[in-house]
Structure 1
């Protein structure tokens, strides 16, 4: 027993970069009347005497609250490097992070942009204000992150997408989307109104700091290129990158490092040391 006590400080020192606190909590959604599991990663420096920036990470179709930690195991070390809190909520199997116009039990826009942010700010030592919050995600979560940030610019100051499904309309029979958007023929307006590529019409330059990337072998490459071109046409500043890779965890497990660096620079520019 004594031997274990003496070994623990050595192990802590050797793995200091991975010393962040990783917890799973239940966050109650009043809009959906259920608990939603959420992974919370706090940096090793965490103290209630300080205030921390927050990055929300949204998983893809078929994933859950634990997907980001599994696919990007470097996240605890990144939380330490950024001195920030990461929040990874369960976004449902195929919610696309909407308040569904056809399913009143699927209210993931309300949950993430309102209920989860309120929970995070009331339970952790976070810095208040949009300039202290960023949101990104992969695939379905990439759609969700941009969709939520554009619609809630008072909540998020920066947003990203990793191989995101930023226009769902070319894929009407895929990923159970009809259960969320409605019938693609008879309820076409639901699809047109709720895709990211059309949401950017409401965005003005400088309102959000945006980073978007997609692999050159990804089936979402064409819709990401379309979004990039539309942002250029609207003269909305953004970072856009294509790099070799497909729609898989190898790609987003690597890409998230670049997105987090982008967010760190955003936080450093817009906030004084807390």
Structure 2
């Protein structure tokens, strides 16, 4: 379905069958939201990704035109175009697909492909959910670079898909595979106090996940084809893993990253990960697992290309400024950028295109 002659994946739709029934959900490829009638009037609205009754449609085939009518199950209205405005809407009618306005043909459209997988973690004896976006040309015989994208505290593997949907267009624009692992509240490190080995997320991110992705997808499975990116806790996780494993990532990006754990008073499950409070005998754990202190592992020769940014009104700005000064002192090449903004998805949505432009200038292109 298209609402413009020139289209991108905002105008592309997935027609998803509901179980084994004769009914379907119509889901926008950009927002992942299903469409259904508005509460009043004859318009359409996007609702939830999980289709409810009002978002379920029956497809009626018209053999004369080789096209389909969409009949809404809840009110029997037909999906139709309103006048000559090329706006998809609904219209109350008893017409049984006799006019062109209620007939739709399907044409395959190139766009990203989303997969949700459960990745085995032998170190933790469990599986970790992840979402993976494959670019529109995936399947053309080439191998593709990969960017691992880490969510923030309180998020999940679907956070970017739901709150930063433009990232899907970036996968197509740069022809790159995007991997969104679920980091829970792990801080993307191996927990200091973890006798049951349930929080080995550095091992998962920088070993098990990479192995899984490289063995299941057509990747450029070398350092030159791999980057890592994140925001907030995920920004910390991206730099934490890149600093500890510079041989794995050619580039790393952070947006509003928590660059030092040792200055935090606590909370955010950090006491659990660090084996105790940020005081006394366990304070050293907070220091040793802070990005600011891991900079000592980098040299001008082994460091990945680094790009990080932070909003000028973000409480984490001093920590990012501190990392900037630390890297300068160690002569580690990096790019640091500040601009107006707070710790929010509004800021990160604006930052993503700049992050991708930087990372992909170092990552090897699909080949």
Shorter-normalised TM range: over 0.9
Q: Which of 192, 201, 205 is 1:101 aligned to?
A: 192
Q: Which of 111, 133, 136 is 2:229 aligned to?
A: 136
State yes or no: 1:26 paired with 2:90. Answer: no
Q: Which of 306, 309, 313 is 1:213 aligned to?
A: 309
Q: Which runs of 5+ in 1 are unaligned?
A: none
**Alpha-carbon distance between aligned partners in 2 of 1:50 and 1:79, rounded to the nearest angstrom:** 15
**Alpha-carbon distance between aligned partners in 2 of 1:33 and 1:204, rounded to the nearest angstrom:** 35
Looking at secondary structure, tell me which structure has more strand per residue: 2
State yes or no: 1:248 paired with 2:248. Answer: no
Residues 35/273 of structure 1: CA separation in 2 closer, same or farther (3 Å cut):
closer
CA positional deviation for 1:191: 0.8
Q: Which residue of 1 aligns with 2:285?
A: 190
Q: Which residue of 2 aligns with 1:9?
A: 107
Which deviates more, 41-50 or 121-130? 41-50
Which deviates more, 223-232 or 198-207? 198-207
Residues 161/62 of structure 1: CA separation in 2 closer, same or farther (3 Å cut):
same
Query: Do the aligned residues in 1 keep the contact of 2:176 with 2:366 (CA within 8 Å)?
Result: no
Normalised by the size of structure 1, how large is the TM-score?
Answer: 0.93
CA positional deviation for 1:6: 5.7
**Alpha-carbon distance between aligned partners in 2 of 1:48 and 1:273, rounded to the nearest angstrom:** 10
RMSD over aligned Cα atoms: 1.5
Q: Which of 209, 215, 223 is 2:319 aligned to?
A: 223
Q: Which residue of 2 aligns with 1:257?
A: 353
**Alpha-carbon distance between aligned partners in 1 of 2:291 and 2:365, rounded to the nearest angstrom:** 32
Q: Which of 335, 353, 360 is 1:239 aligned to?
A: 335
Query: Do the aligned residues in 1 keep the contact of 2:143 with 2:366 (CA within 8 Å)?
Result: no
State yes or no: 1:36 paired with 2:128. Answer: yes
Which deviates more, 247-256 or 107-116? 247-256
Q: Which residue of 2 aligns with 1:154?
A: 247
Query: Do the aligned residues in 1 keep the contact of 2:117 with 2:131 (CA within 8 Å)?
Result: yes
Q: Which of 94, 111, 117 is 2:204 aligned to?
A: 111
CA distances 1:31-71 after superposition (whole Å, capped 9, x unpaired): 11111110100001001621000000000001000001112
Q: Which of 155, 174, 181 is 1:82 aligned to?
A: 174
Normalised by the size of structure 2, how large is the TM-score?
Answer: 0.70
Q: Which runs of 5+ in 2 are unaligned?
A: 1-60, 69-102
CA positional deviation for 1:7: 2.4
CA positional deviation for 1:171: 1.5
Query: Do the aligned residues in 2 keep the contact of 1:50 with 1:125 (CA within 8 Å)?
Result: yes
**Alpha-carbon distance between aligned partners in 2 of 1:115 and 1:48, rounded to the nearest angstrom:** 27
Query: Do the aligned residues in 2 keep the contact of 1:135 with 1:156 (CA within 8 Å)?
Result: yes
CA positional deviation for 1:256: 1.3
Give the secondary structure class of the aligned counterpart of 1:36: strand
Looking at secondary structure, tell me which structure has more helix per residue: 1
**Alpha-carbon distance between aligned partners in 1 of 2:322 and 2:260, rounded to the nearest angstrom:** 9
Q: Which residue of 2 aligns with 1:53?
A: 145
**Alpha-carbon distance between aligned partners in 2 of 1:187 and 1:37, rounded to the nearest angstrom:** 31
**Alpha-carbon distance between aligned partners in 1 of 2:353 and 2:218, rounded to the nearest angstrom:** 24
Query: Do the aligned residues in 1 keep the contact of 2:311 with 2:347 (CA within 8 Å)?
Result: yes
Q: Which has the higher contact order (CA 8 A, sep 6+)?
A: 1
**Alpha-carbon distance between aligned partners in 1 of 2:119 and 2:316, rounded to the nearest angstrom:** 31
Q: Which of 215, 237, 247 is 1:122 aligned to?
A: 215
CA distances 1:59-97 after superposition (whole Å, capped 9, x unpaired): 0001000001112101221111001100000001x2110
Query: Do the aligned residues in 1 keep the contact of 2:128 with 2:181 (CA within 8 Å)?
Result: yes
**Alpha-carbon distance between aligned partners in 1 of 2:271 and 2:140, rounded to the nearest angstrom:** 44
Q: Which residue of 1 aligns with 2:165?
A: 73
CA positional deviation for 1:272: 6.6
Give the secondary structure class of the aligned counterpart of 1:153: coil
